[in-house]
Structure 1
């Protein structure tokens, strides 16, 4: 301040203005730096960071110009015997020099001290000795890779709660997602336990590359280790954690079964250290300089549909089923061959290219450091077709999200009106506007009726249904009732035992083992083929025909309804997998249509005298 007051009486206007510019830049630099230090860098407030950088450059430029200008002005007045900076006292100069020297020494000491701390991360398996029954690869029979085929410390794969300490809203979304519960899902726990029981712990690597990458990459999946389905383990809590996706830097193939390359992030200062203070310091350093963190967490693979192919494509080979190579679920190539990928010759009413992420990771409003300038974040709730887990957890918000996702019109059903070719003709004149009118539709009492229902997959990016079609249930509930709601015909009703009518029209698959028996427990390591498979490719339709008789007792009109119904798990599998003989999973009506058809008396048909009253 003394220096500022003394300069006011001088006439060196240029030097004074440069000094004032340096002072204002310093003020802006301090305020923006204070904001960044407290709140961190945020994408939505990117201008604060940019102002901070500009202020730093302006400060350096104006301060250097101020000093050089002062020196030249002093030299021009030949005041060689006077002080170079007469407005700054000796004590201030010494204080500034001492502060600068202490800062340099402090940084040097801290750097040397941190460099002497041993690397807290291990690249050896968590359990030794580590078995290799499926070849020399550490992660076989999965296709997962790392640099040098090395193991990854579980702290570099897990600890998603640390990510959530900064990304709280996204963390809350992930907690409710199916990714988070990929290992703790009760059905998965049952199946992975069955696999380990029959094939050994090493066989779990096939499943855990996608359901519990922490257990796979850390080297737990060997004799004496713990798979992700064991409660209380880090892999059980994580499922597919943050690094389960953000740690994938490239896709190695489109074969699936974990066909990705995992690269752990470069450790920031205090990364991997236990305790509240190191965690806070670690998070603070990321917040004030997130550039490297953002780069490492935003691999190009994350925005590509190929990333989804690493786990949503599946096959089984001889090492697992003792028979041979068998193709299983494959959402990626179904999408690739459909109208929404931009890589096929198909056209459809919606020709816009859509990725997997556009449906399952949609942008939503949110308050997060990663939020865009428009205040949007990528939702990590990953809605799909798993309606059972949120129902079991009592998570009504996630359940409503799944229900809306399934009922958003991507699948439709249409009942083809039964236009008659034998409509009565007459010589009576009709107006021109009625000449293009379609033939009427109606039924006669006592005749045999034929109705077509058309199910169209008009918006699902892959086949409908997809995924675990061997244990899920999708079927058509078709019902015909008269004016008094008496059932004339019905297909796809639910029995008292909660089992769907076995004669209903299903969209599902029926895998079989090498003896030709039905593999109904989802123990796919016994699967060698498929007896039955029915699904609808994207952009295509399926026509289902129903034939029924019109009894003479019906009251006109008939109400015909067709509903595409969905249930996560058929009853037999649900009872086994969830150890509950009374389980009644929720049913979601994906699409529905209803029409009414008049019933007439045909004078040429003699009605039976035994009419239903």
Structure 2
């Protein structure tokens, strides 16, 4: 071996020694995590892992140059045992380097299949051990090994690694803890907390573009979701909260009671400290249009209770190095670290609580506190969570009339269906053999916001397709004489009865909730518009109608509405989402899940009726009624929001 090749060998030795020490530290932390069942990675670990990637890349060229130069010189040597072991060492070393590059997921060489990555990972773990063993065999067949130097290096590395692992074991950070009570003074009457009790920088909560770089499919779904447009980027919501804040300033001299809204709708300005300012610009402030960001949901560490009203704890997440850097090289380094070693990223942003209905209860269960209404300390608001638990859909109610083929363990089964994806987070979520993600459009009932935003057609279609099969209506029976206590003739099929001219009948229409796992309608049940549209006709035209819309697309006020008619203390309807004025409902026509409601329609057959009569029943849905939309956009607004036939 000449001096140049000998010098190159020393470069390989030095890099390998550094990489070996670095690997020993990383392996020790990994073993500690496996042994304890906890994640001990921290910012220092990420820096060390970045060093692992850099050292690995630096090792490639000198190793290749040395290996093949040495191979060319040693190919014909008489010590065939050393040559054969050298071949094996070269093959194992190449496997080590190739598996390392594959695990890095370098652009153009990205392996996303979880099973393939598992094989690559264990290849990368085992091949260094084989390489050391083969190197010893290779040297035993040649010049004498300098054991003293190797043992000294190993002892030093072991000592440092033991110290570092001890420090990791004493890591004071606790995962998924409830926020301290000190946060109450900042966040009440919302039940939201931060892990430290302090505010979180707004830019940390608004890193959606950062998430998009690796989760493009998920980002595109979320971008068009109602979660994204939960805040002041939603014109109807902006109107209601602006009116509330103006009302609170006049009544209380501050806007603190509006925190009740912000804990779920305006998390970024709220938890960053901007929301309490009475001069907060709800149209132009950088945080006003953030909505429920990726970080807002995925940095929640604890569900404090199932009381709702934002009963969660959110922490400022620890990112990999250079997460906020604008430097292209540093951004690339950050992405490669996450792709190569995503465990810490996954632990930080994806938790078991995200699979629980309790997580959704934090914002999809609401009560109105006394600080808001100045009436009672507690009034029930919307409540998806309890009605889900008490439904046949969850498997928690044996008295439901209708059950799905398989009970849903959580809200995700319906509202986050799986879909094929090439995102880096895609997994095998079912038996299809395709990599999939959960749909972050959250298909549900809000068809109003996509229309107002002029969202792509597929967004509206996703929501409308979701409605299919949820509700069924039937003309079940009729009562001759038109009174409720008259004899019931039912069912009216297969033998359809003949109606007598001049006679009055009561038609019994049944609305059944089939697949819903919560009350129908739910959410903003006072401004959701769900109504029966019933038309009686013969071939000559319409004989009677209930539920029609006039030229301005206002619904007949005498229609049967499946909603809540809420009143203020003066008996006026709560018709502009003015939650602070809620006093009591006049009626509540919501239908429980797996249940039914009966609607009565009286009709008198004309005296001269000779032609057959047809009765058409439709249950229509429109997100936001005309009265509310006129408050938002002015008296001249024509309510063109889409009407879905359920």
Please tell me the TM-score bracket, short chain as reference. 0.7 to 0.9
Structure 2 distance, partners of 1:358, 1:457, is 18
Give the alignment's TM-score, normalised by structure 2: 0.75
Cα deviation digits, residues 346-378 of structure 1 (max 9, x gap): 353425221211111111112211112422111
How many angstroms does 1:46 deviate by?
A: 2.4
Structure 1 distance, partners of 2:278, 2:549, is 45
Residue in structure 1 matched with residue 106 of structure 2 by the alignment: 38
Q: 1:514-593 maps to which residues of 2 (within 5 A)?
A: 514-579=569-634, 581-591=636-646
**Larger relative helix fraction:** 2
Structure 1 distance, partners of 2:108, 2:380, is 48
2:121 is paired with a residue whose SS is: helix
Residue in structure 2 matched with residue 210 of structure 1 by the alignment: 264
Residue in structure 2 matched with residue 108 of structure 1 by the alignment: none
Ranges in structure 2 where 5+ consecutive residues have no aligned partner: 1-67, 147-152, 158-180, 249-253, 429-433, 482-492
1:158–1:234: 8 Å Cα contact kept in structure 2? no
Residue in structure 2 matched with residue 466 of structure 1 by the alignment: 522
Residue in structure 1 matched with residue 150 of structure 2 by the alignment: none
Question: Would the alpha carbon gap of residues 141 and 40 (structure 1) be closer, same or farther in structure 2, given more than 3 Å must change?
Answer: farther
1:461–1:538: 8 Å Cα contact kept in structure 2? yes
How many angstroms does 1:69 deviate by?
A: 1.8
Residue in structure 2 matched with residue 190 of structure 1 by the alignment: 239
Structure 2 distance, partners of 1:535, 1:27, is 67
Residue in structure 1 matched with residue 498 of structure 2 by the alignment: 442
Residue in structure 2 matched with residue 22 of structure 1 by the alignment: 89
Residue in structure 1 matched with residue 426 of structure 2 by the alignment: 371
Q: 1:204-603 maps to which residues of 2 (within 5 A)?
A: 204-223=258-277, 226=280, 230-324=282-376, 325-347=378-400, 348-350=402-404, 352-354=406-408, 355-373=410-428, 374-395=434-455, 396-406=457-467, 408-416=468-476, 418=478, 439-484=495-540, 486-579=541-634, 581-591=636-646
Question: Would the alpha carbon gap of residues 438 and 168 (structure 1) be closer, same or farther in structure 2, given more than 3 Å must change?
Answer: closer
Structure 1 distance, partners of 2:426, 2:98, is 22
Structure number with bigger Rg? 1
Matched length: 520
Which of these residues, 129, 132, 144, is aligned with residue 64 of structure 1?
132
Cα deviation digits, residues 127-159 of structure 1 (max 9, x gap): xxxxx9x99521111000122311111122112
Structure 2 distance, partners of 1:136, 1:387, is 36
Structure 2 distance, partners of 1:54, 1:14, is 28
Structure 1 residue runs of 4 or more that deviate by more than 6 Å after TM superposition: 40-43
Structure 2 distance, partners of 1:308, 1:410, is 21
1:512–1:530: 8 Å Cα contact kept in structure 2? yes
Cα deviation digits, residues 544-565 of structure 1 (max 9, x gap): 1212111134342111011000
1:563 is paired with a residue whose SS is: strand
Cα deviation digits, residues 142-177 of structure 1 (max 9, x gap): 000122311111122112111112211211111111
Structure 2 distance, partners of 1:555, 1:375, is 62
Question: Would the alpha carbon gap of residues 201 and 18 (structure 1) be closer, same or farther in structure 2, given more than 3 Å must change?
Answer: farther
> CA RMSD, aligned part only?
2.8
How many angstroms does 1:17 deviate by?
A: 4.4
Cα deviation digits, residues 251-270 of structure 1 (max 9, x gap): 11111111111122212111
Give the alignment's TM-score, normalised by structure 1: 0.79
How many angstroms does 1:18 deviate by?
A: 4.0
Ranges in structure 1 where 5+ consecutive residues have no aligned partner: 75-82, 87-99, 105-131, 422-436, 592-613
Cα deviation digits, residues 102-128 of structure 1 (max 9, x gap): xx9xxxxxxxxxxxxxxxxxxxxxxxx
